[in-house]
Amino acid sequence: MTRLVYYSSASGNTARFIAQLGLAAARIPVRPNDPMPDLVTPYVLICPTFADGEGRGAVPKQVIRFLNDPSRRAGLRGVIGAGNRNFGTTYACAADVISAKCNIPVLYRFELAGTETDITRVRTGLAEFWGTECSTS
């Protein structure tokens, strides 16, 4: 069951992180004309930040396109942000933007392709997150 959705640009940092996690994940395509993944389960989004120095443009356009679909947005339960600490206050700020717009929690932040510690923390955190999810449907 796919409970992760992610976006990774040509740099591949987020894709490398996902590969290290070893969990099923659906990728939001880089090219605008490629089909978006279809989801039927609740999911967590992993999203890198592409902001200018002022934080503008933090959420990649393809992620915005993905979340603009109400049925896909309805399954979003949390967000994990990726970024580069060299960008200071805009580090992983796409997660903050998505969290505020979609009213979901930021679960974690990692830099570039993550570390072994990040991988362990995300695996453990996701297991706890999904294990404690409350069913209200």
Full-prediction pTM beyond 0.85? yes
CATH number of the domain residue 118 falls in: 3.40.50.360
Q: What residues make up the domain containing 77?
A: 4-134
- pLDDT tens column, 83-115: 888 777 778 899 999 999 999 999 999 998 899
Distances (CA, A) of 85 to 22, 27, 88, 117: 25, 24, 6, 17
- pLDDT tens column, 42-70: 999 999 988 666 667 789 999 999 999 99
Q: Which of 84, 81, 87 is nearest to 105 (CA)?
A: 81
Q: Which of 4, 17, 18 is nearest to 113 (CA)?
A: 17
Structural domains in the chain (count): 1
Alpha helices (H) along 29-115 = 61-67, 70-74, 93-102
- Mean of the per-residue pLDDT values for the chain? 88
User: In this predicted structure, what is the pLDDT of residue 57?
Assistant: 77
Rounded Cα distance between 128 and 30, Å, is: 30
